[in-house]
Amino acid sequence: MIADDITSAIVNALTSVAPEVDPMSIRPGVSFRDQLDLDSMDFLNFVLALHDRLGIDIPERDYPKLYTFDGALAYLASKVTGNHL
Amino acid sequence: MPSLGADMEAGTLVKWLKRPGDTVRRGDIIAVVDTDKGAIEIEVFEDGAIDTLQIEVGQKVPVGTVLAVIRGALSGNSASAAPPTPPAPAAREPQPARLLVSPAARKLAADRGIDLAAVRGTGPQGAITHEDVERAAGATGQAAAPAPVRGGADRASAMRAAIGAAMARSKREIPHYYLSSTIDMNATLAWLRAENERRPMPDRLLPVVLLIKAVATALHEVPELNGYWTSGALQQSPAVHVGCAISLRGGGLIAPAIHDADRKDLSTLMRDLRDLTGRARAGTLRSSELADSTITVTNLGDRGVDATFGIIYPPQVALVGFGRIAERPWVAAGRIEARSLLTATLSADHRASDGHRGGLLLDAIGRRLQTPETL
């Protein structure tokens, strides 16, 4: 359930900065920047959207953990539940 | 129709947001215009009341065409909704004996069964416009149906053509010179990391904001690189309006201005840049943001570019480019160290400045980035 919520939050955050993205086409292990052509402002907005949706604080030093879908899922799950999925 | 950049020759009115008789204040959005670079919100530059709307929805007109006549609230003078301002009529022309009716208005009147002789014209020389018929038909309180805004391949193609035309003109008319300089960013990034650590998430800064502020304040030392080349002479600008090149999703770019960037603190600049980027990509920029940049900054570091040698956006006289910030070997005090380095470049107009002055600007930018706490 938590994984579904986080997946949904990631997809919503991504499509808020890159509306043309088809969620089904996202490759989980590939950098968002590379596959979706996000720049630093897009990535910042993506992280802020996750912050708004999940209510968690994400230190800047942890941003690299959010570079891929798999990485973001694992990181956010650990922040939400205190444990990795 | 305001000029929203060197690459704009005409615009198509998408919709009016005000009607004759409406009161407007400087900065109010009066209309939306479709250009090769997207839909742009047109602001008014005078307080007053709308006297007449001169252009109909769907009409494409060249830059310089009067869109609306605004009667000043205090002076009683007329002003255009968009500069430059050709002479406005001192008073409404008497209704001509022969009805002047635009084709769109005639068609609408026929469709709705409106007697044109009973319609009061508000267009040029009392011509009956599409909007006059709308109003006569009882459509008050609702704007005329907006014209379609181009999208997709059509928009991309028009934008490429517009960018190509402006850049070809720049290369043809402006004798460019180029300089580059390597800037040590260790102190800048260390300060930024600590600063972001203490800031709430929504207030964190991107490195590019420090770069913009450094450029804006460095121009105080070399003011001849801030302004326009017009009528064969340099016009230095007392204000620093930094055009920020923003790539659009799906291709193309646009460079709206952060006004008075030299006087804003970093938090305000960051908010402005986020806002501009979001609105540039959503197609909701305002005319004032596209008309008066005094210099352009482009940052391609996100894409791994080492250095950017840009083409000046006329009538500006300089463009500063930044590449990626990367760890590289650097010799300091006789020792080779790994440092975070950035290549800054300047493209400048040789009619307005020479390489010596351009070098001083890059030096001033680099110096400011060594003391980021003062930005």
- With a threshold of 0.90, does the pTM exceed it? no
Homologous superfamily assigned to B174-374: Chloramphenicol acetyltransferase-like domain (3.30.559.10)
To the nearest whole Å, the CA of A67 is away from the closest chain B CA by 14
Question: Helix, strand or coil for residue B28?
Answer: coil
Report the chain A residue with the minimal C-alpha distance to residue B152. Answer: A20
With beta carbons under 8 A apart, name residues in chain A contacting B196.
60
Q: What is the pLDDT of residue A82?
A: 65
The stretch A12-36 carries a mean pLDDT of 90
Residue B343 DSSP SS3: strand
B/e letters for B316-336, b = 16+ CB within 10 Å, e = fewer, are bbbbbbbbbbeeeeeeeeeee
Q: What mean pLDDT do residues B105-111 have?
A: 67
Higher pLDDT, B307 or B154: B307
For tokens 């990367």, what's the residue? B326
pLDDT of residue B46: 79
CA distance A31 to chain B (A): 13
Name the minimum distance, in Å, from the CA of A18 to any CA of chain B.
8
Cα B306 to Cα A37: distance, rounded to the nearest angstrom: 18
Q: What mean pLDDT value characterizes chain A?
A: 89
- Say whether residue B196 is in contact with chain A using an 8 A CB cutoff: yes
* pLDDT on residue B40: 86
Tell me the ipTM for this assembly: 0.88
Nearest-by-CA chain B residue for A50: B201
Q: Is B197's Cβ below 8 Å from some Cβ in A? A: yes
On average, the pLDDT of chain B sits at 84
**Position with higher pLDDT, B74 vs B284:** B284
| Residue A1 · residue A45 · CB < 8 Å | no
pLDDT tens for residues B270-281? 999 999 999 998
Residue B115 CB coordination number (10 Å)? 8
The predicted structure's pLDDT at residue B177: 98
Q: Looking at residues B210-215, what average pLDDT do you find?
A: 98
A43, A32 contact by CB (below 8 A):
yes
Which residues does chain B have within 8 Å of residue A44's beta carbon, measured at their own beta carbons?
204, 206, 274
Strand B318-322 vs strand B295-299: parallel, antiparallel, or unpaired? parallel
The residue-averaged pLDDT of B185-198 equals 96
Q: Search chain A and give the residue with CA nearest B279.
A: A17
**CATH number corresponding to B10-136:** 2.40.50.100
DSSP H helices in B186-257: 186-198, 207-218
**Which among B298, B302, B342 is the top mutation candidate for probing chain A, defined by the most A β-carbons within 10 Å of its own β-carbon?**
B302
pLDDT for residue B95 is more than 50 = no
What are the extents of the domains in chain A? 2-18+29-81
For residue A20, give the nearest of B207, B249, B278 by CB distance. B249
Write the residue in A39, A45, A59 that is nearest to B302 by C-beta. A39
pLDDT at position B85 is 34
CATH code given to domain A2-18+29-81: 1.10.1200.10
